[in-house]
Each structure stands twice: as C-alpha cells, then as structure tokens.
Structure 1
Amino acid sequence: MLVAALAVTGCVEATTEKPAEKDSVPPPVPVSAFAASNNSKIQDFLAVVRRMEPVARRECRRRAITAKCNFTILIDNRKKQPANAFQALDDKDQPVIVFTRALIQETRNQDELAFVLGHEVAHHILEHISKTRDSALEGFLVGGLQAAVKGGDAKAIERAEQRSAFIGIRKYSKQYELEADALGTVITAHSGYNPLRGAQYFHRIPDPGDKYLGSHPPNAKRLQVVRQAVSKL
C-alpha cells in the first residue's frame, strides 16, 4: 500500500493489467531516443517537451519548497499499455514523468499534450507524492493501532493497516488532481499553449464520476477548475 503512494497517476485512470515478469518489462525510453522518429505524434510530443521543459524547471524552482527540478521525461513504448501519464521520483528524489505511447497517439494536438505534461509537472511542484505517502503512513499506523487496541490478532491488524493505508492514499487524491489541473493550466499557458484547448481531452476520456475514495474527480469539475485558472491569468 505504501509503495502505491510513490506514483501519482495523471489525467486518466490507469487500467489494471496482470503484471509481466520483472525481467521482461522494458524500461521507459528517454524522449531523446525518438529524435529520428517519423511518427508525427511523437514529433509533436518532442516539440512540446522542448518548449515546456525550461518553463517547468523555472516554475518548479520558483514555487517548490525543495528545488528538485531536473525533470526526466520518458516514453513507455509498449504497444499494449493503456493511455496514461504519471509522475514518480527517481532514487535521488528527482521528478520522472512517463507518457505511454497510447496517450501520445490519442491526443489531437500539441495543446492537449502540453496540458497533460503541465498537469504532471504540477504534481511534482505541489509535492503530491510525499503528501500522499505521509497520509498513507498515517493511515497505516492509526489503523493498525486501533485494531490492536480492539484486541485483533496479527491478521486483523494487517488487514486494518492495509485498509487504512488505502484510505490515506485516496483521502486527498481528488483534491490533488484538481490542484494539479489548476497549476498545470498556468504552466501550459506560460509555455505558449492553450490550456482550454488542451483540456478538451477530458471530453474523450471515461468520466470517473464522484466515487467515494475514487482516485480522480468528475471530468466536469476538472474542466471547471481549468476555466477558473484561465480566467485568473
């Protein structure tokens, strides 16, 4: 459960697939490896990365409490991976952002690619991974303690720890997505892209609705937050 808090999913909810054997999963590839690609969508993505990277780094250093702002942007080139983007941290706590090839192919223009990238950058600047990890750890400890006080055996305590850690992970998940949408809108606009046009991507992805302990808020709410952020620019 605590490991699950180390990655924050992006604009779409990732589907769950049976994990492959560890040695058979190729690592994501740096965007520089695709410089010679003749795929127009990949070239669009490379253009967006080149334009947004310095803006993201500058915004990160200006806003972040800890200036770990050397973004590494990778592409998961596996064909069967669903459309998704997420932000994680490397072993030096530097930000890593991964786009699946399916998401890149699914977008209709550079504004959509820029908006998703801005959203993931915002997750790092707002320190959502560390906040989620802390919330998960708090839930884990409190849940286990409560079960122990009630006289639960080892299995009952373990179940309580896992359940409470999951609640801790999801407790602020929707709020964090909306915060990343708002700041991502600013980063997208400062990079010269149109965040309103970019956010049209929400019209084509499944709407998660407003589920209890869901990972993402309703698409309509996210669009509303984007419009509000644009109105303040």
Structure 2
Amino acid sequence: MYRLPLIIVCALLSACAPMSLPTPAPSLVGGSEAQVRANQAARQFVEVVETVEPLAERECRKRTSGLNCDFQIVVDDRADLAPNAFQTVDRYGRPILAFNIGMINSVRNADELAFVMGHEAAHHILDHLAKTRESATIGAVVFAGIAAISGAEAEAVRNAEQLGAAVGARTYSKEFELEADQLGTIIAYRAGYDPVNGAKFFARIPDPGNRFLGSHPPNAARMQIVRDTAAALAGQ
C-alpha cells in the first residue's frame, strides 16, 4: 500500500485543510486565490491516490507473478520544475510513482490525474523498465560489436556502445507508451474515473508527431487507444 500521509501533501502544496472539510472560501483562509487552488489540488491528489492506488495494486497482482506490487506514491516539492510524473523502482524493487508539484497543480480535474496515475502504474505492471534496460543492453552489444569488427579504435567502440544503448532503449518506447495508455485507461475506468476525459491533457502538451526513435507516439494515436479501450470497457 502507498504511504502518503495527508499532512505531507498539505505541507508540500500549501496550507491544506483536512479532507473532511469543505473547501474554504478565499475570504476565510486569509490567503490568496492561488493558495485556495493549491488547497483544492492537494485534496484532489490525496483522493485520487486513495482511490487509484489500491486498484492499481489489485491489477498488478492479478496480471503478474512475483512482481512487487506495493506501490509507493511520492511528491517532488520543488516548485520550479515543469509538470512531470514518472515511474521507477527503489533499490529493493518497490515501485515508485512520482509526481511533482507542477503536475499536481496543472491537471484540470480528477479524471486527468487518475489517468496519469494509472498510466505510470501500468508501466510498472507491464515491466517496461526491465524491458527497456534489456533493449538498451542488446543495442549496446550490437553497435559495439559492429564497430569492433570494422576495426574501430577503443574510443570509437565505446561511443558506438553508448549510441547503441540509446537506440536500443528507444526502440520500443512508443509501443510501451501506448501499452501504458491502454492499461492506464483500464485502471482509471475501474477506479471510477473517466479516462477519455482524463486523456484530454494530451491536447495541452506538445505533439511529438511520429519522429524516428521519438520516445512518445503522436498524441492522436494515444487518444485513439484510450477511446477504443474505454468503449470496449463500457460495452462489457
């Protein structure tokens, strides 16, 4: 289970009132409108975590065997960073879902936050980190081998190895993102949120297009897989 005490989120996002209380009016909080919005963002974040994390854990245990499904949610409190969320694991293999203040404050509704959380959890459930490392290793070996066979010097071989690792790591990155969008849609939907509405944040981020070895697929492709998956779920 996650360990994200409400008091920590409140401290990070600014004077947050207890979740059981209604959102105070600006005249009652003695602060700015921005502070009130931060309070609302904090409540929304905690509510989504409490709803989505248990569902993501159940999906993880149902779909995997031997994978650590004990998600931990963490918040990066540096206010000067661009909105971001990512998935990683700690040194013990425990999955970490990380969000920064920019991301928490930039989403327009709980559906968007739930979809992002489901997407990042899906990366872990689908073991994308391990698969990316494997692809990077293969790419490094292949490129270095080609350089060595061609008679390149040691430094050139090392450069080829680094390039191969970068190319290998990106080989399946678009596919992985679409897979995470699909499973993230399922997680958000089953947690009671609207993933199609949640995926509308794609319209507010730069479209990577269909660049060679780009890390993310076109936004239109991502929206399509969300719509198709949500429609299939609704028809069950």
Structure 1 and Structure 2 fold alike (TM over 0.5)? yes
Query: Partner letter of residue 129 of structure 1?
Result: L
The residue matched to 2:91 in structure 1 has which SS?
A: coil
- Matches of 2:10 and 2:154, distance apart in 1: 54
Query: In the alignment, which residue of structure 2 is the partner of 1:116?
Result: 116
* CA shift for structure 1 position 67: 2.9
TM-score, normalised relative to structure 1: 0.85
Contact 2:177-2:217 within 8 A present in 1 as well? yes
Structure with higher Rg: it is 2
Query: In the alignment, which residue of structure 2 is the partner of 1:11?
Result: none
* CA shift for structure 1 position 158: 0.7
Contact 1:196-1:226 within 8 A present in 2 as well? yes
Counting matched residue pairs gives 204
- Matches of 1:209 and 1:42, distance apart in 2: 33
Matches within 5 A, 1:218-233: 218-233=218-233
Query: In the alignment, which residue of structure 1 is the partner of 2:134?
Result: 134
Q: What whole-Å deviation, never above 9, does each CA across 1:180-205 have from its counterpart, x for those lacking one? A: 00000000001000101101111111
Contact 2:9-2:75 within 8 A present in 1 as well? no
**How well do the aligned residues superpose, as a CA RMSD in angstroms?**
1.1
* CA shift for structure 1 position 35: 4.7
Q: What whole-Å deviation, never above 9, does each CA across 1:192-220 have from its counterpart, x for those lacking one? A: 00101101111111111111110101111
Query: In the alignment, which residue of structure 2 is the partner of 1:21?
Result: none
- Matches of 1:49 and 1:76, distance apart in 2: 15
Matches within 5 A, 1:86-165: 86-165=86-165
- Matches of 2:223 and 2:4, distance apart in 1: 29
Query: In the alignment, which residue of structure 2 is the partner of 1:34?
Result: 9
The residue matched to 2:74 in structure 1 has which SS?
A: strand
Query: Partner letter of residue 46 of structure 2?
Result: L
Whether 2:45 is the aligned partner of 1:70: answer no
- Matches of 1:31 and 1:209, distance apart in 2: 36
Contact 2:174-2:214 within 8 A present in 1 as well? yes
Q: What whole-Å deviation, never above 9, does each CA across 1:80-103 have from its counterpart, x for those lacking one? A: 111110000101111001111101
Q: What whole-Å deviation, never above 9, does each CA across 1:110-155 have from its counterpart, x for those lacking one? A: 0000000000000000000000000001111111111111111011
Contact 1:136-1:167 within 8 A present in 2 as well? yes
- Matches of 2:212 and 2:42, distance apart in 1: 36
Identity %: 48
Q: What whole-Å deviation, never above 9, does each CA across 1:55-90 have from its counterpart, x for those lacking one? A: 111000000233310001111110111111000010
- Matches of 1:172 and 1:85, distance apart in 2: 20
* CA shift for structure 1 position 232: 1.2
Contact 1:75-1:99 within 8 A present in 2 as well? yes
Q: 1:76 to 1:121 in 2, by over 3 A?
A: same
- Matches of 1:205 and 1:66, distance apart in 2: 36
Contact 1:35-1:46 within 8 A present in 2 as well? no
Query: Partner letter of residue 190 of structure 1?
Result: R
- Matches of 2:67 and 2:124, distance apart in 1: 10
Q: Which runs of 4+ in 1 moved over 4 A?
A: none
- Unpaired segments of 5 or more residues in structure 2? 17-38
Contact 2:85-2:103 within 8 A present in 1 as well? yes
Higher RCO (C-alpha 8 Å, min separation 6)? 1
- Unpaired segments of 5 or more residues in structure 1? 1-29
